[in-house]
Every structure is written in structure tokens, then in C-alpha cells.
Amino acid sequence: MKDEGGEPLSEEVGRAFAVTKRAQLTAAGTQAVVPIPLHWRRRWTRGYNQSEAVARALAEELGLPLRPGWLVRTKPTPQQPTVSVTARWENVRGAFRVGFRAPVRGVRILLVDDVLTTGATADAAATILRGAGAAQVTVAVLAHR
């Protein structure tokens, strides 16, 4: 899914995820779906963001709005599997910000990523969204290492 051309697969996996986990995903009363963003350089190199493709299909299947601009990656970070567990937390410190004029205050957000390893990326992103006033951030991932 992380290779160029993997977008259709990512979308199919997102649809299957929504169908099989619909009860759990809707129980939180989510109002918007936000994917973990890639830094613009990695997105340009890869050609797409796999988390956004998964989130797009998930949002469509659940009838929720997709809000990819609500979270922005501000700095490039090494791919997490290539660094130590300790370094992963440091890598994502300061790596996200809320998008310009993103109306997150009071919104219950479903934050979507493809893989959760240590939780550093999801934690950093959720912290930024909560700090901007999100009422709740629920993390949905396809796999956990």
C-alpha cells in the first residue's frame, strides 16, 4: 500500500475496514475523519498518502466528511520503522499543526493511520487536535506492530 500505485488497494482496505468495524467506528459519535498527513516531499515522492486513501474510503462508507486539511505535517521525519523506539517519539515532536482555519473546536474526530507501532505518531497528532479544541479524538489503524 505504501508503494506508488497502491492507492486503489488502500481504498479497498479502507472500505473493508469500515464494513467490518462499523459498530466500533460509529460508537464514538465521530463527526469527521482526518488522516495522518505525509510531509509534502514524501507525498510527492510516493504519489499519494496511503492513510488518506484509507480514510477517504472509510469516510465515504460511514457517511462522514473527510477533512485531510485539518492536520498538516510541518517537518519531514524519517520513516518510523527505520528508527529506534525512543527516537520515534522525538521524530514526531513538533511534526504536526492544525490546518489554517480548520474548525476542529468541539468536533469528535476519527484519526486514521495505516500502521500503529509505538503510538508516537498517533499520539502527537491527537495531542495537536485536542489542543486545538477537538472534543474527542479516536484513533483507527489497520494494523498494529
List per-residue pLDDT tens for the chain, 145 residues long: 566 666 778 889 999 999 999 999 889 899 999 999 987 777 677 668 889 999 999 999 999 999 999 999 998 776 655 667 777 787 888 889 999 999 999 999 999 998 888 888 999 999 999 999 999 999 999 887 6
The CATH code of the domain at 7-144 is 3.40.50.2020
Domain ranges of the chain: 7-144
User: What is the Cα–Cα distance from 50 to 113, expressed in whole angstroms?
Assistant: 8
Query: Cell 492507492 sits at which residue?
Result: 7
Q: At what angle do helices 120-131 and 85-92 cross, to 10 degrees?
A: 30
Outline where the chain has alpha helix (H).
7-20, 22-27, 40-46, 50-62, 85-92, 120-131
* Residue 117, pLDDT score: 81
Q: Which three cell numbers stand for residue 84?
A: 529506534
The Cα 66–Cα 72 span in angstroms is 14
Largest pairwise CA distance in the chain? 38
